[in-house]
Every structure is written in structure tokens, then in C-alpha cells.
Amino acid sequence: MSELTTDQIADEMFNLVKEYAGKKRFKASDLTKEIIAKHGDSVNKKDCKAALRVLMDSGRCVYGYAGGSFISLPGEEGAAKQ
Amino acid sequence: MAEPAAPRKTDIGPPHYEQFLHPVIKKNYGKWKYHEYMKPGVMVHVSETGDKIYSIRVGSPRLISVDVIRMFADLADKYCDGYLRFTSRNNVEFLTDKEANIDPLIQDVQAGGYPVGGTDNSISNIIHTQGWVHCHSAATDVSGLVKATMDELYEYFVEMKLPHKVKIAAACCLNMCGAVHCSDIAILGIHRRPPQINDDSVSNVCEIPTTVSSCPTAAIRPTTVEGKQTVKVDGDRCMFCANCYTVCPAMPIADPLNDGVSIWVGGKVSNARSEPKFTKLAIPFLPNNPPRWPEVTDAIKKIVDVYAAGANRYERVGEWIERIGWPKFFDLTGFEFTKYHIDDFRHAGETFKRSAQIKFQ
Amino acid sequence: MADHKLRETPLLDELKKGPWPSFVSDMKKMAERKPMVNDLLGQLELSYKEKKGHWKHGGLVGVMGYGGGIIGRYSDAAKEFPACAHFHTVRVNQPSGWFYTSAALRELCDIWDRHGSGMTNMHGSTGDCVFLGTTTDELEPIFAELTEKDWDLGGSGSDVRTPSCCNGMARCEYACYDTMDACYNITMEYQDELHRPAFPYKWKFKFSGCPNDCVASIARSDLSVIGTWRDEIRIDQAAVKEYADSGMEIRANVIRKCPTSCMSYDGKEITIDNKNCNRCMHCINVMPKALRPGTDTGATILIGGKAPIIEGALLATVLVPFIKMNKDDDYQEFKDLMERIWDFWDEHGVNRERIGECIERVGLGNFLEAIEVDPLPEHVHHPRTNPYIFYEEYFEEVDDAEAQKA
């Protein structure tokens, strides 16, 4: 398999968060583990760290607060509406 | 969140501390030889070079407005060439190399309504948390508790007349965003009733497996109520830590009828003489009685009074109690010893007395 | 004067009385020009009346790209107190040792006055300069103005929380390493870990210059760095005499208080059996003019301190009895150790479990082995007292035993 670019890893992470939204929550390390499990030795933790930064800087995901810093889709200001 | 127009500066960290150091401090960095307490709240540090820096310590409520900070800044300009710092116990320290500035500064500080003290064998400022002013999990209001307590203990802040220093902390819940678990005396907000469960919203706002696993005593189980997925709590196993509420907002635990304050004693973080130690329970429950919590301030005053009367020089509260024994502590304070004082959580057995070495009154 | 109606707060007004400075008096003044503080006082009065808080959990607020530094806060009584319906916290990373100039403080005050309630905590429990109360719309402008003036946000959530330190060598003769430099260096090294939560739970660093531990690192940090020394306490016998002449009871207050009985005083001079000294600091605290820490200085590293939630409070436990906190190599030994610990935590930690709890769960011995630290008698109060040992190897055959002998 060819080497993944940082953007490609970020995209895969985003797809995971989107796919499992409402079903499973991921922390940064969970996403890293998923990516490494899928791609084996062709990616490492450093690549994933860089990809996470790209993902968060792009605004496609935000850090959640309740019960841990889970990577979430941006949405309502949760508690404001309860 | 809109993208800002200018190129974004991130991860720059705090400004480098060196630009905030008084020239005498910069020059004598790492060269300090000794210090002395000139009077309550005033220290002089003397360098190997012979240079001196004077520190004037001022009590603050910690919760302060920008106007108060600006007043401190003005005083720093007037007397300290603009240099000041804050301490780990939220006091302000004015720093000057001019001995002649000390007394005029103190006069101005006191005229502004702020006390000078908190050094050496005193009661320094109370480390505390947010309380009802700003926290979602607070069982009490610590800003008010601290104000009422420091009013009561004021003489011990402005004088240095105790056997040793007494460090007090206050926290509004068991998260203890303050060193409550290792202070000479500690005030802790507590809940006493299991969380109420809002079955309609649990599945919307909480992740059920996370909520179940958040409970340290495994008191929470998943369940279904009227077709809705939710959780239930075994009240007998709940010890009111509120960890479930932290991960699941649909399980509020605050309850005006039952929330209150517990009092703890005998902890320390310093390694001096004896090893650092945890605080131990003195009073399991006192009512939340705002605005001035008289039951709490009376109890703390009582502890300080018996400590001041009975401790030897250089004995912290915990060291004093270990010398005289816990039975004597309860005897002297008049606090009731109850079943709640006996631990029944993890490693509880380590706190049981396992010898026949008993003092009789 | 205010163009809004000031809230009546009869209960809180009781806290304007007494000698200790009153946060209520301060807030009442702010309420005249800040409707947000006026409503905050109104809501707090309601809490005092009902004996109940009125804040809800945080929500998804932050500045773009960061997961730390902002705590979302919303009122559950917003109808009654609309001006503080949104009341978020901004944590600003404080300078090492909490040293400021008046100009720097005014800079922070001006930014906060323009964009928030004007109320602060100087400082928060972890160490940050805390701005209390603003709305989501103000967050990006605040961040832009802070960074423009070279300030940055601190930590929150499952990240490196803002490290803090005592004033160390800047104004203390006890400092055994440069706490302010170490704190700054480590804070800068881990900016990404500080702003982008990637851990199972929070991670606190605290740096104390000596075993007096003025920032309570042993109780309040996951990684506690406490200054110490390996050689002999420096004694100035002339100063000992001065203390004696000034009336100090050296035998009662110093010699007999020594926990290891390693000191003696013959009425003229103090002698110390340094091999027996456990660096408790008592004698040095009492006689700072006469006694000083040695010159072969460094630090003891302890791990896993925390407050009760979830499995009970822990004091940090010894990890490295002595380490040189070496500025010249950029604290490389320390940072290498950190990488190994975080790799382990990544692998074995679970959500909302602090490292101290994680270590208790997997066993300190296993943890040490994983991070390549040799087990030492300094790691324990005493060896285990139970025989339930998880032996990891045994011989299957006589030949195996013979082979190992050979």
C-alpha cells in the first residue's frame, strides 16, 4: 500500500467520526488506534497526530467536553439548548 | 465560529517570565542566601551579593474584578517600579528593593481595604474553588464560605502567633479543585442523596455505557422506562461522588435539602519533619447556611483555638493530632465521633487501629 | 451610573461586612457598568436563597483548532438572568511563578474589560489566570487580542493542563533547580498536548524547588518534580551562633524535631550525619541563615497525585529518586521519560482514569518495567507483605533449570 498523506488520514478520521456519530465516541487516541489498525505499519502515531491537527484546524470536528474530550461533529451548543 | 481574517497565531505559550522580573530579582536569580520575616506579611530576601528584595504579601478574595487588579497595578507602579506577583495561595506580593517604601505601601493597601499578612506562623489565604458563582457541580458556595471564614480568622492572617502555619482549603464538591485532601483544615461541599434521573433525556444527552462505567461502586445499571433507554441507581451503593453527573447531565445530584459541608483536618503537602499526609474527617455534615455559614465558621474557629492552645512550636495540625491522638482531638473539640468517621471505601482497613496502644483520659 | 436596574441582593450584602476583602462589594461595583455581573449577582442571590447552584454543564465551545482553554458555561435560569445566560470561562496560561508587571496586568484587564464580565480568578487552582464569564461570540476576538499581545490559552479537558511552578530561584534560596525555566520549557515543549486533548484524561505538571513543595505538586499533579540535593547540607557555624545568641532554642526546635535524628548540637556547633538525612527541610526552614541545601542539586520525580474522583485521592509516588534537571540539554532525560510514560498511558489508560489510578490497576512494578525504570527500594514504603506474587516464569523441565545455571 502506498503511503497515506496527512490530509488522507484526516479525511479517514473525519469519516469515522461521521459514520459513528450518535453511536460511538472517539478520543484522539481512539482515532489513532483505528487508523493504525487499518493501515498497519504504513502510518505511525506522529502521522496521526499531524492529521488530527489538520482535522481540528479545518473546523470539520471540534473537541467535546462532557465526560471527556471526545472528537465530535460541530453542532448545537449542547448545554445551551437543554 | 468564523475564521478570523489575520493569519492565526497559535501555540505560542505564555510570555517568557524574565520580562516580568524586578531588576534586583533578575540580577540575583539563583543567588539568594536567606530570608527573614520583618513583620507579618513582610519578608526580606538577602542575596549572596548583599542585594535585598522586600516582599509585601496582601490577602485577596481570588475572585476579583479588573478594577481591583488595576488598583494593585497602580500600587505596584507607585511603590515597586511596577513589579508584583501572585502566590500559590492567591495572595498578591508586591516586590521592591526600597525598604522605605514598605510602610507607605502597607498604608495604601490597608486604606484600600486589603490586609497585609499571611506569612510564617499565620493562617494564609484559603485555597478555594468556584462554588455557585461559576460551577455546575457545586454543593455549596466557597467564595461566601471563604469570606465568612477569613472574617472569623482575620487576626491569624495579620499576626504570626500560631504554633506553626495553618493552611486551609475549601472545595465545593468532591472533585476538589483545591488541595482539600492535603490541608491542615479543609471545608468540603457534599451531596447526600443519590442523583435524580431524568429518564426522558438520558438517552439523548448521555452515553449509557460511559455513564454506567463512571460509577466507582457499580451502583448504576442500564434499564428501560416506558420504552426509553435510561439508567437506574442502586441508592444503597451510592456514596454521592457525583461522577455520574459529570458524564451525564441528566442525573442531577444537587439537592438543597441534603447538600451541605463536611470538615476535614490534619493534612499537609510539605515534607518537613513528617511525610505529606491526607486530611481526615472531623465533621461529616454541617448544613449549608448562607450567607455566612455560622456552623462552619464556628467549627473551624474551634479547631484553630484548640490547636493554638495545645500544639508545640513547629507542629502542624496533623502532627499535633498524631501526638495527642484522635480520641483526644474529638474530646478537645467536642465534635461527635460517628460511624461515618470510619472508612469503608478502598483500603479502609489500613485506617483501622490494630494495636493495644490506647491512651485513657 | 448604570442604565440597567441593579439587582437587590440582601443575602449577599451580608458578605460585604467584616474585615476580609469582600468579593460581593467588588462585584456590586462592577455590576454598575456590567449587566453580566449584575445578573450574575442576581443568580448568585437566588442560589443563596435556594441553596442550589444554577449552572449547567459545558458545551461545545472553544477557539478554532483548540480543545483546551475554554470552559462552556450556561445558566439554567437564563430567562430570569439573561445577561449571564452564556458565561464561559477563558483560561489564560500564566507566566512562570505568577510574576507580572503592572503593564502586563493592565493589558490583560483591558482585553477582558472589552470582551467579558471583567471578573477574574487570580488564579485558578491549576495556575491559570482565569477570566470568568463571556459569550461564544467574544471567544475568537479575545483569543486574537491575547495572542497579539503574546498570551496564549491554558489547558482543559483530557490534555496537559497548564503547568505551574513555585517562584524558585527568582526569590527563594531553597530552590534546588530552576523551576521557572523548567516550567516554561516543558510548557513550550508540549503546546500541542496542552491545546489539543489526546489523553485518556487530564495530565498535570507541577514544579516545586524543594521538599517544602509550595505548589502542592505531590498532592495535585500527575507528574510532580520536587527539588532536592544529594550532597551535604551547607552549615554556617557563625550564623548558628547568631541564632543561639538571639535566643533560639536549637535543641528543642531543630535537633529534636529532626525526623531521622541525624543532627547534634554541642552548644556551639551543629553536626549533621548527611547519609542519614532524608531532606525533609525542617532544620533549613527554621535556620535559613545557617543551613542551606547542598550544591549537588536536582529533583525527585513523583507520579500519580490526584484528588478523590474517581477511585480515591492519591499522593504522588516516587518514580525517580534523583534526576538532574539539566537546562543545558533542554531537560532531555525528563522529556524522554515523559514520552515513555505517555506511550504506556496511550496503550493502557481508559477514559477518565488518571495515571495514578492506571498505575494502581496495572501494578507499579509492571508500569516501571514498561517505561524502562528499574525497581528500587525507594519506590515503596516497604516490600510487599503478602505472598501473592505473580511470578512470570517457571521451569518446565530439570534441564531448563540446569541450562540457566550454566
Which residue matches cell numbers 550564623? C239
Distance (Å, whole) CA B153 – CA B361: 30
- Is residue C38 less than 8 Å (CB to CB) from chain A? no
Interchain pair C65, A64: CB under 8 A? no
Backbone angles phi, psi at B18, to 5 degrees: -60, -35
Q: Residue B274: what pLDDT?
A: 97
H helical segments located in C116-236: 136-148, 168-171, 179-189, 191-195, 217-220
Residue C285's identity, in one-letter code, is N
Looking up residue C180, the CATH number of its domain turns out to be 3.30.413.10
Helix axes C23-33, C35-50, angle to 10 degrees: 140
Residue of B nearest to C34 (CA): B65
| Exposed / middle / buried, residue B274 (Cβ in 10 Å: 0-12, 13-18, 19+) | middle
Cell of C73: 458555561
Per-residue cell: B91: 495572595
Say what angle helices B66-80 and C102-115 make with each other, to 10 degrees: 160
End residue of a domain, out of C115, C148, C181? C148
Indicate whether A61 belongs to any domain.
yes
Residue A25 falls within a domain, yes or no?
yes
Contact C155, C161 (CB under 8 A): yes
C187 interaction partners in chain B (CB closer than 8 Å): 13-14
First to last CA, chain C: 92
Pair C245, C313 in one domain = no
CA-CA distances (angstroms) from residue C284 to B62, B318, C235, C293?
31, 21, 10, 8
State how far the Cα of B195 lies from the Cα of B203, in Å rounded to an integer: 16
Query: Among candidates C166, C281, C318, C293, which has minimal Cα distance to C229?
Result: C293
The answer to whether residue C31 is domain-embedded is yes
DSSP C71-96: E--EES-TTT-GGGSB--EEEEPPPG
Q: If residue C18 lies in a helix (H) or strand (E), which one and from where to where?
A: none
Assess whether C20 and C139 both reside in one domain.
Answer: yes
Rounded CA Rg of chain A: 13
Give the minimum alpha-carbon distance from A8 to chain B in angstroms, rounded to a whole number.
23
Helix or strand run (H / E) with residue A80: helix A78-81
A82 domain residue, yes or no = no
A33 three-class SS: helix
Q: Is residue C370 part of a domain?
A: yes
B83 φ, ψ (degrees, to nearest 5): -105, 135
* A77 part of a folded domain: no
| C226 three-class SS | strand
Residue C175 Cα, gap to closest chain B Cα (Å): 8
Domain final residue, candidates C252, C271, C292: C292
Determine the Cα–Cα distance for residues C366 and B2; give it in Å rounded to an integer: 48
Query: Subunits touching B (CB < 8 Å, at least 3 pairs)?
Result: A, C
Residue B110: the pLDDT is 97
Q: Please spell the DSSP secondary structure of B280-330, one letter per residue.
A: EEEEEEEE--TTT-HHHHHHHHHHHHHHHHHPPTT--HHHHHHHH-HHHHH
The answer to whether B263 touches B145, Cβ cutoff 8 Å, is no
Provide the β-strand partners of residue C223.
C205, C303
Rounded CA separation C214/B270 (Å): 7
Domain presence at residue A78:
no
C-alpha closest to that of C219 among B278, B124, B346, B171: B278
Q: What three-state secondary structure class fits A54?
A: helix
The confidence score (pLDDT) of residue C405 equals 74
Same domain, C143 and C119: yes
**Band (A76; pLDDT cuts 50, 70, 90):** low
Q: Residue C379: which residues within 8 A CB-CB, separation 6 or more?
A: C317, C318, C319, C364, C368
> Residue C130 forms beta bridges with which residues?
C91, C121
| Res. A1 pLDDT band, cuts 50 70 90 | very low
State how beta strands B52-58 and B92-96 pair.
Answer: antiparallel
Asked if residues C387 and C236 have their Cβ atoms less than 8 Å apart, the reply is: no
| Residue A81 within any structural domain of the chain | no
Q: Residue C1 domain-assigned? A: no
Cα gap B64→B150, rounded to integer Å? 16
CATH number assigned to the domain comprising residue A17: 1.10.10
Kindly give the parts of chain C with pLDDT less than 70.
Answer: 1-2, 406
Prediction pTM value: 0.95
Do residues C219 and C357 both lie within one domain? yes
Interface residues of chain A, partner chain B, Cβ below 8 Å: 25, 59, 66-68, 74, 78-79, 82
For residue B258 the three cell numbers come to: 441534603
Q: Would strands B83-86 and C99-101 be described as parallel, antiparallel, or unpaired?
A: antiparallel
Written as nine digits, the cell of B129 is 474553588
User: Does C327 share its domain with C249?
Assistant: no
* Cβ atoms within 10 Å of C323's Cβ, excluding its own: 18
Alpha helices in C323-371, H assignment, sequence order: 332-348, 355-362, 364-370
User: Which residues of chain B form beta strands (DSSP E)?
Assistant: 32-39, 42-47, 52-58, 63-65, 83-86, 92-96, 127-128, 168-171, 185-190, 220-225, 228-233, 260-265, 280-287
Q: What is the DSSP letter of B101?
A: G
Q: What is the pLDDT of residues A11-42, one digit of tens each?
A: 999 999 999 987 888 999 999 999 999 998 88
Do C25 and C76 belong together in one domain?
Answer: yes
Cα–Cα–Cα angle for B350, B354, B358, nearest 5°?
125
Domain CATH code at residue C277: 3.30.70.20
> How do beta strands B260-265 and B228-233 pair?
unpaired
Grid coordinates representing B120? 510564617
Q: Based on the domain organization, do C96 and C219 belong to the same domain?
A: no
Look up cell 543551613; give the residue.
Answer: C291
Distance (Å, rounded) from C-alpha B312 to C-alpha B274?
14
pLDDT in tens, chain B (361 residues): 555 556 789 999 999 999 999 999 999 999 999 999 999 999 999 999 999 999 999 999 999 999 999 999 999 999 999 999 999 999 999 999 999 999 999 999 999 999 999 999 999 999 999 999 999 999 999 999 999 999 999 999 999 999 999 999 999 999 888 789 999 999 999 999 999 999 999 998 888 998 999 999 999 999 999 999 999 999 999 999 999 998 899 999 999 999 999 999 999 999 999 999 999 999 999 999 999 999 999 999 999 999 999 999 999 999 999 999 999 999 999 999 999 999 999 889 999 999 999 998 7
- Any alpha helices (H) in C213-331, and if so which ranges? 217-220, 237-245, 250, 282-286
Q: Residue C140: is it exposed, middle or buried by C-beta count within 10 angstroms (0-12/13-18/19+)?
A: middle
Residue A10 lies in a domain: yes
In the beta sheet, which residues pair with residue C113? none
Burial class (CB in 10 A: 0-12, 13-18, 19+), B218: exposed
Task: Please check whether residues C223 and C253 belong to one and the same domain.
Answer: no
Q: What is the ipTM of this complex?
A: 0.95
B66: nearest CB among C18, C109, C252: C109
Angle between helices A6-19 and A28-39 (to 10 degrees): 110
Asked if residue A52 lies in contact with residue A6, where contact means CB atoms within 8 angstroms, the answer is: no
More confident site: A67 or C89 = C89
At C65, which CATH number?
3.30.70.2500
**Per the structure, how many domains does chain A have?**
1
Interchain CB contact of C57 with B (< 8 Å): yes
Bigger pLDDT: B121 vs A65: B121
Note whether C281 and C308 are same-domain residues: no
Average pLDDT of chain A, as a whole number: 85
Domain-located, residue C196: yes
Whether residue C372 lies inside any domain: the answer is yes
**Is C157 part of any domain?**
no
> Residue C245 — left, alpha, or beta (φ > 0 → left; ψ -120 to 50 → alpha)?
alpha
Say what the pLDDT of residue B286 is.
98
How big is the CA angle at C178 (ends C177 and C184), to the nearest 5 degrees?
Answer: 135
Residues C250 and C362 in one domain: no
- Chain B residues closer than 8 Å to A66 by CB: 205, 246-249
Same domain, C285 and C242: yes
Question: Is there a domain that residue C394 lies in?
Answer: no
Select the residue of C60, C351, C352 nearest A77 (Cβ to Cβ): C60
| Residue A29 domain flag | yes
Of the partner residues C120, C140, C257, the one whose CB lies closest to the CB of residue B314: C257
Q: Which of B205, B207, B247 sits opposite A82 (nearest CB)?
A: B205
**How many Cα atoms occupy the beta-carbon half-sphere of A60 within 13 Å?**
16
Q: Which three cell numbers stand for residue C308?
A: 478523590
Amino acid identity of residue B99, one-letter, is: E
Chain B residues inside the 8 Å CB shell of A25: 207, 210
C-alpha cell at A40: 498497519
Residue C129's CB is within 10 A of a number of other CB atoms, namely 26
B1 contact residues in A (CB cutoff 8 A): 59, 74
Mutate one of C91, C196, C340 to test the A interface: name it (highest A CB count within 10 A). C196
Whether residue C366 is contained in a domain is answered as: yes
pLDDT for residue A82 is more than 50: no
Q: pLDDT at position C63, please?
A: 93
Residue from the list C58, C86, C196 with its beta carbon closest to the beta carbon of A65? C58
Whether residues C36 and C110 share a domain: the answer is yes
**Full residue range of the structural domain in which residue A45 is found:** 6-71
Q: Which own/partner contact pairs does C377-383 have at CB distance under 8 Å and 24+ positions apart?
A: C378/C318, C378/C321, C379/C317, C379/C318, C379/C319
Look up residue C88 and give its amino acid: H
The pLDDT, as a whole number, for residue A41 is 85
pLDDT value for C80: 97
Domain that holds residue C307: 164-229+298-379
